[in-house]
């Protein structure tokens, strides 16, 4: 009776070993840490505006990338577009006067990126990531601004993480060829 669970575990181990699963950051046939070396060899080009500054800093931190272009093997160029939509509206009627106020916003951040070889300038990977942040309009304009900036910072961090994963997948596929 005790051999049945052992056989089941052994069988499951063999099935998983045959499926071809391997960790994303463990590149086959490469030295330990080569994915980190690839990601850290990227220079993230500056992006305009406060939102772009936040996104660039998030990417530099996540990739352990270069803040300066000297010696970088790749250049990451990002363009971003922001869109803000009022999604919460509240109306209040007092006598004959109706007042309408926006109570919630959704900010959509769309980032297009291109990874180019620093020597040849050839684009080797590209993609688009979109993030959504939402915040409430508060009675204080300052508090509303802080809520918006916090929501947008979280969207930046999310997009930076997804760009990092996309780039890691590119390097893993390149190593597997």
Tens digit of pLDDT for each residue in 13-61?
666 655 655 555 554 555 545 788 888 899 999 998 888 999 999 999 9
**Could you give the C-alpha distances from 66 to 3, 37, 44, 73, 85, in angstroms and in order?**
55, 11, 7, 10, 35
- 51 and 82 Cβ atoms separated by less than 8 Å: yes
Output the DSSP codes for 118-154: TTT--EEEEEEEEEEEEEE--SSHHHHHHHHHHHHHH
pLDDT of res. 64 = 85
* Correct CATH for 30-176 of 2.30.38.10, 3.90.170.10, 3.30.160.150, 3.20.20.30: 3.30.160.150
Share of the chain above pLDDT 70, in %: 83
pLDDT (average), residues 84-109: 84
Looking at the chain, list the stretches that DSSP marks H as alpha helix, in order from N- to C-terminal side. Answer: 3-18, 34-40, 49-63, 141-176
pLDDT for res 98: 78
For the chain, the domains span 30-176
pLDDT at 94: 76
pLDDT at position 23 is 56
Number of C-beta neighbours around residue 133 at 10 A: 22
CA angle 88, 90, 91 (to 5 degrees): 150
């Amino acid at each position: 009776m005790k051999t049945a669970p052992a056989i089941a575990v052994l069988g499951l181990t063999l099935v998983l070993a045959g499926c071809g699963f391997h960790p994303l950051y463990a590149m086959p046939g490469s030295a330990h840490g080569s994915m980190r070396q690839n990601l850290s060899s990227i220079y993230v080009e500056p992006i305009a505006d406060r939102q772009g500054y936040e996104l660039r800093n998030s990417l530099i931190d996540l990739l352990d990338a270069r803040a300066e272009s000297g010696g970088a093997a790749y250049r990451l160029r990002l363009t971003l577009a922001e869109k803000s939509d009022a999604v919460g509206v509240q109306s209040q009627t007092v006598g004959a006067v109706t007042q309408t106020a926006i109570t919630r916003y959704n900010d959509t951040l769309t980032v297009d990126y291109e990874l180019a070889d620093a020597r040849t300038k050839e684009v080797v990977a590209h993609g688009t990531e979109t993030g959504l942040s939402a915040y409430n309009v508060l009675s204080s304009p300052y508090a509303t601004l802080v809520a918006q900036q916090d929501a947008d910072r979280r969207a930046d961090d999310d997009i930076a993480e997804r760009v990092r994963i996309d780039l890691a997948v590119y390097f893993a596929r390149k190593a597997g060829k």
